[in-house]
Structure 1
Amino acid sequence: MTLLVERSEDMSPDGRLSLFMDVDGDIHVKVLPPMERKDDYAPSVEFVTHCARSPRTIVALQALIEAMRLDNEERPLTGSFTLE
């Protein structure tokens, strides 16, 4: 199962955080530029679940994905969404 969740920041409509869980369970984190600059570079990092290097980070990112999913469901913001 894959899951993509994006959440707009609280202080402006410009910043968004994107977390993507791929079919292997690896988690990709991106900080997205404003929509009018969507073609700009978006820094990203990937944490792999089969690697024992970051187990607590993986657990925290999984919790963050769920928190963002629930916030999108219960308190939607413009530009925020969840795709399962």
Structure 2
Amino acid sequence: MLIERPEDMSPDGRLALFRDSDGDIHVRVIPPTERTDDYAPSIEFVTHCQRSPRTVEALQALMEAMRLDNEERPLPGMLTLE
């Protein structure tokens, strides 16, 4: 699943979360267009590792919240791919 939700403070900055085939969750901040040369940080949390169980649970809840926001309150630049 890939989900992107636009931020509230610029017209095109986005937060992206991706769950890969192993269930790991990748988090990426996509900067606004005027800052395309900026580094877009990305991190990964693995679901089979017990190092961050609460963080993984929170990220899964965030993915669901973003999915519902995209469904119920669509914005330009949003994306939900299951």
Structure 1 length normalisation: TM-score? 0.89
Q: Shift of the alpha carbon at 1:49?
A: 0.4
Aligned to 1:47: 45
Contact 2:15 2:29 in 1 (8 A): yes
Separation of aligned partners in 2, 1:38 and 1:79: 15
Cα RMSD of the aligned pairs, angstroms, is 1.4
Match of 1:25 in 2: 23
Partners in 2 of 1:36 and 1:22 — Cα distance? 29
What is the one-letter code of the residue matched to 1:74? E
What corresponds to 2:56 in structure 1? 58
**What is the one-letter code of the residue matched to 2:72?**
E
Partners of 1:60 and 1:49 in 2: how far apart?
A: 12
Q: Which structure 1 segments of 5+ residues have no match?
A: none
Gaps of 5+ in 2: none
* Residues 24-71 of structure 1: per-residue CA shift (max 9 Å, x gap): 110000000123554653100000001000000000000000000010
Match of 2:2? 4
